[in-house]
Each structure stands twice: as C-alpha cells, then as structure tokens.
Amino acid sequence: MKLVKHIANLGYGSRKDVQWMFREGRITDAAGEVLYADDPLDHDNVRVDGEPLDLPPGLLLMLHKPIGYTCSMKDPGRIVFDLLPPRFRERNPALSTVGRLDRDTSGVLLFTDDGQLLHRIIAPKSKLPKVYLATLADDLRGNEAALFASGTLMLDNEKTPLLPAELEPLDARRARLVLHEGRYHQVRRMFAAIGHHVQALHRERIGGLTLGDLPEGQWRALDADDRDQLFAGESA
C-alpha cells in the first residue's frame, strides 16, 4: 500500500480514489504494464494515465508571478496557486510559498514542500540577497542610496533599524534595490519612509537565481543546478 499512499500524497486523490485508479488500470509502469497497489514503489517508473508522476517530496518550484495575484490560500480573489496544477494544492507535505510577494508586485516567487529548505532560504542569518526593480512616482533626489546603506533607517512600527541595502539608480524614476532581509512590504515601506511612492515593483532575483526566460504566469521545477545557483548568493 506504500504506492497508494505515495500517489495520494502527490495530490492525485484520496487513498480511496487512488485504489480505484489501480482497479481501473490507470496506473502503469513506463512500459505500459498495469501496476497493482502492493507493487514496490519506484517513483520514476510509475505512470498515471500514461503520464509520469509529479516530482516527489522535496519539491522546489519557481513562478514568474504576475501582478494581481496574492500569496494567501484564503484570499477570495486570484491567488498564485491558481497558476499551478490544481492537484498541487492537495500535496502532503503541503506546498507553500517561500516568503510572499504582494498583489501588486511581480517577479520571482518560490514554492517548496521542504520545511528545512524553506527555513534555509528565509532565515535571517542566510541573508540571501533579494533584488527588486522599483518604479517611483517622482524623480529620485540623489540621497536615497546613502539613506538605504546607512543601516539606521527605521520603518513605522518597527523596533530595529533595517540592515544596509544597496540602491542603484537606473534613470530618473527607476532604481534597483538589493535587500538582505525580508520584512512586511519592505521595499514600499522603505521608499515611503524617505518620501517616495512606489508605482511598480518587480523582484528580479533571489540569491543567484533569476527568472531567465520563464514567461509571466508560468512555473518550472528547479533542479540541483538551480539550487546551487540560488545559494550562490548566500552571505558567508
């Protein structure tokens, strides 16, 4: 029955549903031979309706998040999980976002079902750089980079100052900002603290990992090389 539990945990249905799938001959090996519920578990050799199984637990995904989607499963509007296969919501262990991007922010968003991996990415001591492209409502004044790099900037309702952040002006109203921590709506609040309003915000990179040519609204599973690239940006 390990095979039944494994397939159910991947979100294909309840254990009862999966048992019926076996009885209907929908679960086979790679050669098309019908499998039985008590057959040995060999993930890579199993097919459901002729298709390989989804990736096993330990999954890490990257989504090119569009504007207009939230990261909460409880939001009544459009959520980022709508952009993934429906059965991904039923996986056990559960798939969750690695941090969040607000509704009006686009860019790199990671998902995982690995609690230790999630902690490694978001833990304060990792200080993985997160790179954002911000478009402002008004022109840059020229003092923003020094203010963000000072390590003394305080946000409303916060008790500790922000870590130093690097700002690179790109033109009169656009800048690239590199953060080494993650606080609630941090980029927008940082600019607001020095008198700017962010009109558009896009996360370009986490660690050493960028979107590459991944289209907006699309996702892909990350392999070992991608993970190495992600943590290539990890602070010592």
* Dihedral class, residue 68 (left if φ above 0, else alpha if ψ from -120 to 50, else beta): left
Q: Rounded to 10 degrees, what is the CA torsion of 215, 219, 224, 227?
A: 80
Confidence band (pLDDT; 50, 70, 90) for 235?
Answer: low
Domains of the chain plus CATH, in order, are: 2-52 (3.10.290.10), 60-123+215-223 (3.30.70.580), 129-206 (3.30.70.1560)
102 is an active site residue: yes
* Residue that wins the pLDDT comparison between 210 and 124: 210
Amino acid found at 178: V
Q: What is the pTM of this model?
A: 0.93
Taking all residues of the chain, what is their mean pLDDT, rounded to a whole number? 95
Within 13 A of 8's CA, how many CA atoms are on the CB side?
A: 14
Q: For residue range 10-54, list pLDDT tens digits in order.
A: 999 999 999 999 999 999 999 999 999 999 999 999 999 999 999
Active-site entry in 17, 54, 75, 102: 102
pLDDT surpassing 60 at residue 128: yes
What would the pLDDT profile of 191-221 be if each residue is shown by its tens digit?
Answer: 999 999 999 999 999 999 999 999 999 999 9
